[in-house]
Structure 1
Amino acid sequence: MTKNKNLIYNHLKKITSSRHFVKSKISCDLLNYLTEASLEGKNPKELTIGVELFGKKYEDADKQDSNIRVYIHNVRKKLKDYYAAEGKKDPVIFVLEKGKYRVRFDSPKDHRKPVRYVFLIPFIVSFAALLVLGFLYFKLSSKDKTPWKELPVWQDFAESDKPTLLVLGDYFVFSGQLPTGSVGIYRDFNINSEVEYEHLLDKNPELIHSLSKSNLTYLSKMAAFCQSHIYKVFAQTGAPIHVKLSSDLQPDDLKNNNIIFVGNYKNMGLFENVVQDLEFSFGISSSSRQFIFADDPDAAIYRPANDNNKQTDYALVINTEGYTDNRFLLFLSTQDIGNISVVDQLTNPNYLTTLLNEKLTQLDPDNFKALYKVQGINKTDLAFELIRIE
């Protein structure tokens, strides 16, 4: 909508005085700041907000501030609640876009539902009834030998018209001189992309002459085990599936395919934005970095661990809608053992039947997040437990 500043400022005051905002000074200050910045055509970054609004000081200009992201999420949630109640009839709608730190000012017509053609309902109902009868006749006259079309997780992939792309999370490596004197490949657990590699060289320019980019990547054993299990499912359904490395994934792939991603929290790549747009009641963190952020800053944080070769991993399964009437199924873990165990279980019809009957009856089987605790030794799981599902 055309930006009428007086109108925007009047409704900004109304919003921050509402019961959804008035008790949260941080949310009010942040919304005021972002509104002003947006009207000036600015799109501030996390660290800019931290410095200008909260007076923070950062030693590392490239470091992310997770607190700012939590504050932004809280403002977005409060706006949603406000427009569902007090702001229903407001002539301007403040929209804090996901993945961005600017406010969009919409008019109600931008959010108006399409007109319903009521007079067509009898014809639609009749036509739908014919389609249902035809479908039932087809189902009864054919013997479907695969169980996957009736089970959660895989049902949508088995019946979709879109092709499925299995994306395997590969690891970023660079080359340099090894202690043996030969040139070889290095893997730094804290460097998982070209951007992070460039930051390393910016901070340590003396490494420019001893390190170089590599055209190679590598996959862990997890990829082979998980790919084998998933391919068996698709072999039985007859649905097409192709494989691609996460480093080769393009944004168009997320629109044109159903996606199954198997990888590490560190190498989510393009899927990091997908995960950030979701809401979580828990967090997942390593010793140096948080991967999953909870809506509540005081929520439980799960941290994988290694103790005398015994591994404890927290594997996350996300089953959600994509961007273009497609599906995203993400398997995430910090260690191989997590995804190996979870993919093995979720490609087992008996386990999926139990999951459907005991856990998913009160949830939407097409949209859920499940957190598993996996313990074992040397990539062999000894204990598998579903600890949260939402």
Structure 2
Amino acid sequence: MDVETAADHAEMPAVAECHRQVERILQSSAFRNASTLQQLLQFIAARSLEKGVEPLKEYVIGVEAFGRPADFDPKTDTIVRVQTHRLRLKLKEYYEGEGRRDPILVEIPKGHYLAQFETSTELKGILDGEGQTSQSIRAGGPRGTLGQGVVRHPGRIALWIGTVCALGLIFTAGLWTGKHRGAQSSPLMSGNSLQAFATGDDPVKAFWASFVGDDQNPVIAYPDAVFLLDNSNDLFRYRQGASDDRGSLVDPHLARQFASNPDLVEKAGALYYENGYTGAGELQAVAMLAGLFGQMGLRPIIKPSRDITPVDLRQHSVILLGSSFQNVAVAQLMTPGDFRFINPDTHLEQWRAEIVNTQPHPGEAASYHTGRDPVTHVLKQDYAIFSVQSGVITGRHIAVLGGLDTTGTEGATMFATSQSGVEELAKGLSVTKQKNQALIIPQFQALVRVRLEKGSEVLGASLEAIHKIDVANTHSTDGSTSLPAQSQ
């Protein structure tokens, strides 16, 4: 039975449920900041659920969904292929996280541009151990019928089980590595042990124990900014626009449109996506945080910022390294406050960017820039934002440690993991820790000044200014105004 016949014989509530599922996906946190993918999913889903639908062509999607001109050529402009690939990945991310118990599974089979809808009583069965079957509407892929039971392919279940086993092996290896790196006297901590840190006399461990709460595996996310790599191994900055997996060939149209220096890009020849570089300061920051958490018996998860998922945000407290220029998660997740990263011209290097102070207190400046020697232009000082805010659910938190330059990130982390820095922070927030009580820190943004030598050696970091975050203007789901102590 073809798609049209299946749709004709289907009850309308089933199709209506498909439309509701699409709306559920579009409103999810996974798709919240992905406007292009929202647009594409809406278009594909609407076409897929039409009666008598014909297979979708790249040209139709490019012109009708993305507004390309009538002379759009999919051979030279690969936006449809790139964005559809990203949409498949985003749907996978959604169903692995917040959509794992949704009533309908939406997929776009490879080689097709029409969506496939499957009722997920069977999907819930896999997740809940119930082993139920599914019903499906299939469009553009293998034909099926609506209203007939279809058992999901055993190969998919085997793949899912294999993935879980592989992740288990990776997790086991990660535990061994964390144990090896941590102090031998610091086994994986229990909730009571973390509570002991939160109420103890060490101000640094007290601060970070309150930050992680009951999370044994806080996430440290380092920036993985996208570059374009040519055959001479030269890198070109690529600040926005559709991207693909590392090593994939870049569409010349996208390269010229979104690269920071389109004139050079046009002469560079074949270009490939490259996101395997991060700053030296961010690497130092990871080492400092991992070392501290190892001493506390924690096993941090270290991953690229583009791999942060809604599941991470619900299950873990997250530390984001780098500025919004380099770390996409910072741009998306940092709560707007008085201090903000701005770059007046995205085609210029970040040494010309600044941190603006939208509400200067007495004695504070309205903006802060990297400092350079007037003769040699060697970097002499940097600035960074150190912020802490509530996470997406109660008991989870998000911290940002990001400098205008990579040295700022290193300096801010040095500040945040040192006794003098945490004490300076507590003083600036007028917070006093009582003996045997947890240190309660309100949500805040701190501006940190970082002193440099030879452009890259961090000599020290100090608190330049600190502002509490106005929680009335944030969108935190728990509405909390402080980092709660670890519960008993």
Residues 140-289 of structure 1: pairs in structure 2 closer than 5 A? 153-161=207-215, 163-178=217-232, 184-188=233-237, 191-195=238-242, 199-202=254-257, 207=266, 210-275=269-334, 277-280=335-338, 282-286=339-343, 288=345
Paired residue secondary structure (2:441)? coil
Shift of 1:302: 1.6
**Rounded Cα–Cα distance in structure 2 between residues aligned with 1:165 and 1:209:** 37
- Look up the match of 1:381: 458
**Rounded Cα–Cα distance in structure 2 between residues aligned with 1:143 and 1:195:** 44
Instruction: Say whether 1:312 aligns with 2:381.
Output: yes
Contact 2:425–2:463 (CA under 8 A) maintained in structure 1: no
Percentage of pairs with the same residue: 16
Instruction: Say whether 1:333 aligns with 2:388.
Output: no
Instruction: Say whether 1:300 aligns with 2:366.
Output: yes
Contact 2:306–2:329 (CA under 8 A) maintained in structure 1: no
Shift of 1:360: 3.8
* Letter matched to residue 256 of structure 1: Q
Distance 1:319-1:152 versus aligned 2 partners, 3 A rule: farther
* Letter matched to residue 337 of structure 1: T
Distance 1:255-1:370 versus aligned 2 partners, 3 A rule: same
Residues 18-97 of structure 1: pairs in structure 2 closer than 5 A? none
Contact 1:152–1:356 (CA under 8 A) maintained in structure 2: no
Deviates more, 1:235-244 or 1:356-365: 356-365
Contact 1:158–1:237 (CA under 8 A) maintained in structure 2: no
Which whole-Å deviations, capped at 9, do the CAs of 1:195-217 have from their partners, x for residues lacking one?
38875433769839823232542
Contact 1:314–1:371 (CA under 8 A) maintained in structure 2: yes
TM-score (normalizing by structure 2): 0.43
**Rounded Cα–Cα distance in structure 2 between residues aligned with 1:359 and 1:370:** 10
Residue of structure 2 aligned with 1:368, choices 444, 452, 471: 444
Paired positions, count: 243
Contact 1:315–1:333 (CA under 8 A) maintained in structure 2: yes
**Rounded Cα–Cα distance in structure 2 between residues aligned with 1:373 and 1:255:** 32
* Letter matched to residue 393 of structure 2: T
Contact 1:284–1:303 (CA under 8 A) maintained in structure 2: no
Paired residue secondary structure (2:294)? helix
Paired residue secondary structure (1:388)? strand
- Look up the match of 1:62: none
Contact 1:201–1:208 (CA under 8 A) maintained in structure 2: no
**Rounded Cα–Cα distance in structure 2 between residues aligned with 1:144 and 1:318:** 19
Shift of 1:230: 0.5
Shift of 1:272: 1.2
Paired residue secondary structure (2:276)? strand
- Look up the match of 1:352: 422
Paired residue secondary structure (2:288)? helix
Shift of 1:368: 1.0
Shift of 1:322: 0.7
Paired residue secondary structure (1:264)? coil
Shift of 1:164: 0.8
Contact 1:148–1:233 (CA under 8 A) maintained in structure 2: no
Which whole-Å deviations, capped at 9, do the CAs of 1:74-119 have from their partners, x for residues lacking one?
xxxxxxxxxxxxxxxxxxxxxxxxxxxxxxxxxxxxxxxxxxxxxx
**Rounded Cα–Cα distance in structure 1 between residues aligned with 2:200 and 2:412:** 21
Paired residue secondary structure (1:351)? helix
Where structure 2 has 5 or more consecutive residues not aligned to the other structure, the ranges are: 1-34, 36-191, 244-249, 347-352, 433-438, 468-488
**Rounded Cα–Cα distance in structure 1 between residues aligned with 2:358 and 2:451:** 27
**Rounded Cα–Cα distance in structure 1 between residues aligned with 2:460 and 2:305:** 29
Which whole-Å deviations, capped at 9, do the CAs of 1:262-304 have from their partners, x for residues lacking one?
11331231331323x4221x45444635676655699812222
* Letter matched to residue 402 of structure 2: L
Contact 2:205–2:296 (CA under 8 A) maintained in structure 1: no
**Rounded Cα–Cα distance in structure 1 between residues aligned with 2:240 and 2:296:** 35
Paired residue secondary structure (1:356)? helix
**Rounded Cα–Cα distance in structure 2 between residues aligned with 1:371 and 1:297:** 12
Contact 2:231–2:271 (CA under 8 A) maintained in structure 1: no
**Rounded Cα–Cα distance in structure 1 between residues aligned with 2:356 and 2:369:** 13
* Letter matched to residue 405 of structure 2: Q
Greater share of strand residues, 1 or 2? Answer: 1
Contact 1:333–1:339 (CA under 8 A) maintained in structure 2: yes
**Rounded Cα–Cα distance in structure 2 between residues aligned with 1:158 and 1:236:** 14
Distance 1:251-1:367 versus aligned 2 partners, 3 A rule: same
* Letter matched to residue 412 of structure 2: V
Residue of structure 2 aligned with 1:323, choices 389, 392, 402: 392
Contact 1:313–1:338 (CA under 8 A) maintained in structure 2: yes
Distance 1:319-1:283 versus aligned 2 partners, 3 A rule: closer
- Look up the match of 1:128: none
**Rounded Cα–Cα distance in structure 2 between residues aligned with 1:155 and 1:292:** 29
Distance 1:306-1:357 versus aligned 2 partners, 3 A rule: closer
* CA RMSD in angstroms, aligned pairs only: 3.8
* Letter matched to residue 175 of structure 1: L
Distance 1:375-1:247 versus aligned 2 partners, 3 A rule: same
Contact 2:356–2:368 (CA under 8 A) maintained in structure 1: no
